[in-house]
Amino acid sequence: MITVHHLENSRSQRILWMLEELGLSYEIKRYARDPKTMLAPPELKAVHPLGKSPVIEDRDVEGGRVVAETGAIVEYLVDKADGRLGAPAKRADALRYRFWLHYAEGSMMPPLLLKLVLARIPVMGKIALKRIQPMIDVHLDYVEAELSKRPWFAGDQMTAADIMMSFPLEAARSRAGLDESRPATIAWLGKVHARPAYQAGLQKGGPYAYA
């Protein structure tokens, strides 16, 4: 059995979706954000020293295993499910899969997080925001161009790369300029949100502002 240490309105919603897609048994331990700081509660540090979510515990492994970091968890679950939702067989698709798997957190999320932080800083933050949005637009235009070529990020089938890309694109839809001017990306989000496994994970996960 897998335990997901799940923080509301966070990246860990992707892990619930993925577990539903894979049909793996799991349970959820929910955590609420501090209403003043919006940070994770200190209880998460008892699970992993970084005190962040998502974190999973796999009790099917002898002695148990704790895995942190969204991308690492996603790859761990692909392995646990014998490669399902993993890299496609075609080399070109497999290379795209690996790119998007890492691009989600490595390239797209940093400017989105920076915009969130700057939006909370009076005056100077608003000035800096004018320089951040063009950076985000570069990413949104790139994603739109790629999704105009194929239905899913790696190719013709949904993979874990799509699961990784869901959070930054939902965040961009919510607060960073993603709208109907980028129809391929909006259509992709619609397909994601319509999936029964996505809806099941959403129902179990509790508050999630970006869906």
The closest of 36, 35, 62, 56 to 44, measured between CA atoms, is 56
H or E element that contains 29 = strand 26-31
Residue spans in the chain of domains classed CATH 1.20.1050.10: 91-195
Mean pLDDT of all residues in 80-101: 98
Instruction: Give the C-alpha separation, 169 to 109, whole Å.
Output: 9
pLDDT of residue 120: 74
Got the DSSP string for 34-51? Answer: PTTT-PPPGGGGGTSTT-
Residue spans in the chain of domains classed CATH 3.40.30.10: 2-85+197-205
pLDDT of residue 122: 73
H or E element that contains 18 = helix 13-22
CATH topology of domain 91-195: Glutathione S-transferase Yfyf (Class Pi); Chain A, domain 2 (1.20.1050)
pLDDT of residue 211: 62
∠ Cα 9 10 11 (to 5°): 145
Per the rule left: phi > 0, alpha: psi between -120 and 50, beta: everything else, 83 is: left
Contacts of 31 (CB under 8 A, 6+ apart): 5, 6, 7, 8, 40, 41, 43, 44, 53
Q: Which residue has the higher pLDDT, 48 or 37?
A: 48
Instruction: Give the C-alpha separation, 171 to 209, whole Å.
Output: 9
CATH code for 2-85+197-205?
3.40.30.10
Contact between 176 and 119 (Cβ < 8 Å): no
Mean pLDDT of all residues in 74-82: 98
pTM: 0.93
Mean pLDDT, rounded, of the chain: 93
pLDDT of residue 124: 66
Mean pLDDT of all residues in 119-134: 78
CA atoms lying within 13 Å on the CB side of residue 19: 25
